Chain A
Amino acid sequence: MSNAVTALNGAKYSGLIDIADAGLMGMITLRGDLASAAMAKVVKSITGAKMPKPRGVETAGKGSVAWMSPDELLIMVDYPAADAAEAKITDALSGQHHLAVNVSDARAVFDLTGDHLRDVLAKGSPTNLNPDALPIGEVRRTRLGQLAVAFWFTDESAAKLVCFRSVGDHVFKWLANAAQNGSSPNFHSDMR
């Protein structure tokens, strides 16, 4: 078996915010009818979390599940558990129109922490980053600079960001540049 390496390979940056490689994460894209009972059941059995509401992220003991679009979920589990989880979904939803793909190695995942998090993200994304508009536990698919990303806050000063693996290095450099000390507009951080 090959030795799995993340796109960022442990990269770290510390400035206005701390940017870190989140390490290997098991990710499965699941598309299909989100209202079906079978889907809710299999999501629950894999992650322990319930079916998220639109734009929601649900986290439980074994993993998380994020609402990506009206017919798409992102299921997050431990890296080694992803293949088994994918097989379990395919098995549980057989006969039902769906698609489950292990995308663990197709993405780069960032751990972002710091008080200036909302300010740094606002530099490159048209998202309304006000905590009322993007509360903790709500995922936002958007762009950062010119690249598609998704991020969600797990805490007021911590967020996870996911992008395609091929642009992981660029997103890291982009974030590091946006997080240089002394460059905060202090808009969101001042309101806290």
Chain B
Amino acid sequence: MLILTCPNCGIAADETELHADGQAHITRHGAGASDDDLETYLFMRNNPKGVHFERWRHVYGCGKWFHAARCTMTLEVFGTYPAQTLEPPKELVAKIKKKRPDWEGFVK
């Protein structure tokens, strides 16, 4: 069971109360973009065994989006943070780095 604390309402929500929406911090390429950029935006996703940044929505609760950093292998949750950001907060990245020294760091 995965429990994420929603930064919008402060509730430690069970995953059955949330909706997962895949990888976070994707750069959007819309009309006018090159084929490669559009393909990357639409289809190319990281699939790491380890640290992963994701978008979640507290669908049965406050209905708001947020970001979560977790480990795809152990389900350890490193932290959650608001959706209104283009990259994870520095403190969180430092915290993960401390726990997982082998982690290559946040790559967009």
Contact = CB atoms under 8 A, between A and B. Distances in A.
A124 to B, nearest CB: 11
A126 B9 contact: no
Interface in B7-23: 8-14, 16-17
Contacts of B17: 126, 142-143
A177 interface: no
Contacts of A142: 17, 60-61
For chain A, the bracket of interface size reads 10 to 19
For chain B, the bracket of interface size reads 10 to 19
B62 interface: yes
A128 B13 CA distance: 9
Interface string B46-81: 000000000000001111100000000000000000
27 contacts: A54-B10, A55-B9, A55-B11, A68-B62, A69-B8, A69-B9, A69-B62, A69-B63, A70-B8, A70-B9, A70-B62, A70-B64, A72-B62, A126-B13, A126-B14, A126-B16, A126-B17, A128-B12, A140-B11, A141-B9, A141-B60, A141-B61, A142-B17, A142-B60, A143-B17, A143-B60, A148-B60
Contacts of B64: 69-70
Nearest to B62: A69
Nearest to A128: B12
Nearest to B14: A126
A69 B10 CA distance: 10
Given A69-B8, A70-B8, A70-B9, 18 more contacts: A54-B9, A54-B10, A55-B10, A55-B11, A69-B61, A70-B62, A70-B64, A72-B62, A126-B13, A126-B14, A126-B16, A126-B17, A140-B11, A141-B60, A141-B61, A141-B62, A142-B60, A148-B60
